[in-house]
């Protein structure tokens, strides 16, 4: 039997509609229109595309966007100065530094300079620590999108086996924490993991965030499992492929996300939600949710 597709287009549209409705509510209550500032350094073509996508998502949700495009030669000190100005600007509610940065700039130093209350990517040590300890935070957009996709299947995660392949700070680790918060039993795998296929086959929920096209094959999947493919890998033919071998996986899984049209769209939508949440919090408004999951 072929797996049901978890459609990122439909779910992302829902999240963006919710964000747009929250923007309208803030405006009706006399609060500021949410504003996202993006700092883009250099000419990386993929980053340019991502930033244009963010601008159009903001427009669709009624969020104001400001993009600071800086030359490749920008020094770390200059970037930190621009960041400090945005941090101090009360009209700016969310700040995002588009990664990767040029090699001469230390991303950790730049991210640490984003005020936690404007850190809509959820990458600062304060937000990462609050996610770990269960405090109020901004959840990184990709793992938040993954959780929303898993929930859309109706699966109750409590007591289920969840396996996350990949342990990056922006995807794997926060995804594992979110699944743990939902009372799943979580295993995190990485490049030193032994017996990966066997571990994956135990997973009721499998999240693949490896960065290797087609790495997870159908024989590594438990029949009926929910498979979330975070990977975005561009092949020599220019086509995007996920970390999951879609053709073999969909014959075994119960639910699966496609690439493209899956997690990537949810990441973008969750950024809109986090920006609205940031604006609400800075205006002293409780939107009634601490996290969008
Ligand atoms: P990283 O390169 O930071 O992390 C990759 C992880 O995969 C590492 O933890 C690494 O282990 C692990 N890994 C590598 N090889 C193996 C292996 N043979 N077996 C098991 N684990 C392995 O990548 P990211 O987390 O940033 O991104 C992962 C993928 O998701 C990429 O394709 C990226 O483009 C995509 N992505 C997609 C997003 C979206 O919106 N859809 C957003 C962000 C990323 P170790 O730690 O031991 O090195």
pLDDT per position as a tens digit, 131-179: 999 999 999 999 999 999 999 999 999 999 999 999 999 999 999 999 9
Q: Which one, of 277, 192, 262, lies nearest residue 229 by Cα?
A: 262
Give the residue numbers annotated as catalytic, written as ranges. 54, 98, 121
Task: Determine whether the shortest distance from the Cβ of 187 to ligand 1 is under 6 A.
Answer: no
State yes or no: pLDDT of 128 exceeds 50: yes
Q: Which one, of 32, 156, 43, lies nearest residue 91 by Cα?
A: 32
Tell me the CA–centroid distance for residue 165 and ligand 1, in Å: 8
Does the pTM surpass 0.85? The reply is yes
Please report which confidence band the pLDDT of residue 289 belongs to, taking 50, 70 and 90 as the band edges.
low
Strand (E) positions, 86-229?
A: 94-97, 161-165, 185-189, 205-208, 226-229
What is the pLDDT at residue 287? 87
State yes or no: pLDDT of 36 exceeds 70: yes
d(C-alpha 134, C-alpha 136), whole Å: 7
CA distances from 259 to 98, 190, 228, 235 (A): 22, 21, 10, 12
Task: Determine whether the shortest distance from the Cβ of 34 to ligand 1 is under 6 A.
Answer: no
Share the mean pLDDT of the chain: 96
What is the pLDDT at residue 1? 72
Which tens digit of pLDDT belongs to each residue from 194-217? Answer: 999 999 999 999 999 999 999 999
Which tens digit of pLDDT belongs to each residue from 173-188? Answer: 999 999 999 999 999 9
Instruction: Give every CB contact of residue 236 below 8 A, 6+ residues apart in sequence.
Output: none
DSSP state of 62: T
Q: Which one, of 251, 20, 261, lies nearest residue 149 by Cα?
A: 261
* Residue located nearest, by CA, to atom 16 of ligand 1: 191
Tell me the CA–centroid distance for residue 285 and ligand 1, in Å: 36
Within 13 Å and on the Cβ side, how many CA atoms surround 78? 12
Task: Determine whether the shortest distance from the Cβ of 74 to ligand 1 is under 6 A.
Answer: no
Which tens digit of pLDDT belongs to each residue from 73-103? Answer: 999 999 999 999 999 999 999 999 999 999 9
Tell me the CA–centroid distance for residue 85 and ligand 1, in Å: 33
Task: Determine whether the shortest distance from the Cβ of 172 to ligand 1 is under 6 A.
Answer: yes
Tell me the CA–centroid distance for residue 24 and ligand 1, in Å: 37
- CB count within 10 Å of CB 187 equals 17
């Amino acid at each position: 039997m072929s797996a049901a597709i978890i459609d990122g287009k439909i779910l992302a549209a829902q999240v963006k509609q919710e964000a747009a409705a929250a923007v309208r509510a803030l405006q009706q209550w006399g609060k500021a229109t949410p504003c996202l500032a993006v700092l883009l350094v250099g000419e990386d073509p993929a980053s340019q595309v991502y930033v244009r996508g963010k601008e159009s998502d903001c427009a669709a949700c009624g969020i104001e966007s400001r993009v600071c495009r800086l030359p490749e030669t920008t020094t770390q000190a200059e970037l930190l100065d621009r960041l400090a100005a945005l941090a101090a600007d009360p009209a700016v509610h969310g700040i995002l530094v588009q990664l990767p940065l040029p090699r001469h700039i230390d991303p950790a130093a730049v991210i640490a300079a984003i005020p936690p209350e404007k850190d809509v990517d959820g990458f600062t040590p304060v937000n990462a620590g609050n996610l770990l300890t269960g405090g109020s935070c901004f959840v990184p957009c990709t793992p938040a999108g993954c959780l929303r996709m898993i929930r859309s299947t109706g699966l109750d995660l409590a007591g289920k086996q969840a396996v996350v392949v990949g342990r990056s700070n922006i995807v794997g680790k926060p995804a594992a924490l979110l699944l743990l918060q939902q009372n799943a039993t979580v295993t995190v795998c990485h490049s030193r993991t032994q017996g990966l296929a066997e571990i994956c086959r135990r997973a009721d929920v499998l999240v693949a965030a490896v960065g290797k096209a087609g790495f997870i094959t159908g024989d590594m999947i438990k029949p009926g499992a929910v498979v979330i493919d975070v990977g975005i890998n561009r092949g020599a033919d220019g086509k995007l492929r996920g970390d999951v071998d879609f053709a073999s996986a969909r014959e075994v899984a119960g639910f699966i996300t496609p690439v493209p049209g899956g997690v990537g769209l949810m990441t973008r939508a969750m950024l809109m939600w986090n920006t609205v949440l940031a604006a609400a919090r800075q205006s002293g408004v409780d939107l009634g949710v601490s996290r969008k999951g």
